[in-house]
Amino acid sequence: MTRDSHWRAEESVPLDTPAAIHRLRVLTVNTHKGFTALNRRFILPELREAVRATGADLVFLQEVLGEHDRHAMRYDNWPQTSQYEFLADSMWSDFAYGRNAVYPDGHHGNALLSKYPIRQFRNLDVSITGPERRGLLHCVLDVPGHAEVHGICVHLSLLESHRQLQLKLLCKLLDSLPEDAPVIIAGDFNDWQLRGNVTLARRQYLHEAFEHHHGRPARTYPARFPLLRLDRIYLRNATSHAPQILGNKPWTHLSDHLPLAVEVHL
């Protein structure tokens, strides 16, 4: 897929009808632009190996760099491609990127890596005011046995008032989707007060994987001593199984957030 944030459609004619897929392994991780907490060390190659080891079918990425000229000149092991292409490598055949923040040296945003074709994608700008630039990356996935599966990669504001407005935009997006289509929403909600969690549960018939199984969303931040419940995986028309916080090494050293993983049954 290209890094263009507009809708893109790809057509293919399968020679054989593939077997229906009813289970997807989902991972969400804030990549912190490929650096450790406090930006002490560039660790994107190590992060790629850790992500590959999960065997996830869908990987939701936040704070992933599309490009950064200054870093590319400074680090010898800086990838020749965008960070999301580098992470996808040969394991995830399709990827989509939504550029959110643009600055003189480059840009970053959300990305989704998929083992199944991404039929369409669009990046919705949900920035409110000020320097924070945020987006919702919405992908329509072609998963065998299903008319369409929707994946939405989320990274919301640090400000509560902005988050509430952004959640309304997310709800508006959800209202536009087919009522019976499976929807997977994952990412960094920055919802440390859990107010947004209540909003989504009441309005959209979603369930959050960790709250459903353990009573509360997972503690993911900061990675070394997680206290805040910032990262989430929400589902609609699907069920969650065996949710995990990836809280051991090497994950505690690969970002300032801990990743979340779950098996989704469609």
Average pLDDT over residues 64-69: 96
Residues paired with 102 in a beta bridge: 107
Asked if 43 and 34 touch (Cβ cutoff 8 Å), the reply is: yes
Determine the pLDDT at residue 4: 46
Q: What percent of the chain has pLDDT over 70?
A: 94
Q: Identify the CATH number of the domain in which residue 189 sits.
A: 3.60.10.10
pLDDT at 12 over 50: yes
pLDDT at 146 over 50: yes
DSSP 203: H
Nearest Cα neighbor of 223 from 245, 239, 206 is 245
Task: Give the mean pLDDT of the chain.
Answer: 93
Nearest Cα neighbor of 189 from 83, 102, 54, 62 is 62
244, part of any domain: yes
The pLDDT tens digits for 194-227 are 999 988 887 778 999 999 999 999 999 999 999 9
Asked if 66 and 84 touch (Cβ cutoff 8 Å), the reply is: yes
Fill in the amino acid letter for 194: L
4, part of any domain: no
Fill in the amino acid letter for 22: H
Determine the pLDDT at residue 15: 60
Rounded to whole angstroms, the Cα distance separating 97 from 45 reads 19
Largest CA distance in the chain: 51
Tokens representing 119?
């039929």
Residues spanned by the domain of 152: 23-265
57, part of any domain: yes
- Structurally, the chain folds into a number of domains equal to 1
Asked if 265 and 241 touch (Cβ cutoff 8 Å), the reply is: yes
Fill in the amino acid letter for 259: P
Tokens representing 101?
């923040």
The pLDDT tens digits for 220-250 are 999 999 999 999 999 999 999 999 999 999 9
pLDDT at 5 over 50: no
161, part of any domain: yes
- pLDDT band with cut points at 50, 70 and 90 for residue 7: low
132, part of any domain: yes
**Which residue in the block uniquely carries the two structure tokens 């000229």?**
69
Asked if 28 and 260 touch (Cβ cutoff 8 Å), the reply is: yes
The pLDDT tens digits for 72-111 are 999 999 999 999 999 999 999 999 999 999 999 999 999 9
DSSP per-residue codes, 243-261: EEE--STTGGGT-SS--EE
2, part of any domain: no
Determine the pLDDT at residue 8: 52
Nearest Cα neighbor of 254 from 74, 10, 7, 50 is 50
With 0-12 / 13-18 / 19 or more C-beta atoms within 10 angstroms meaning exposed / middle / buried, residue 13 is exposed
119, part of any domain: yes
Model pTM score: 0.93
**Which residue in the block uniquely carries the two structure tokens 């990743």?**
259
DSSP 42: B
13, part of any domain: no
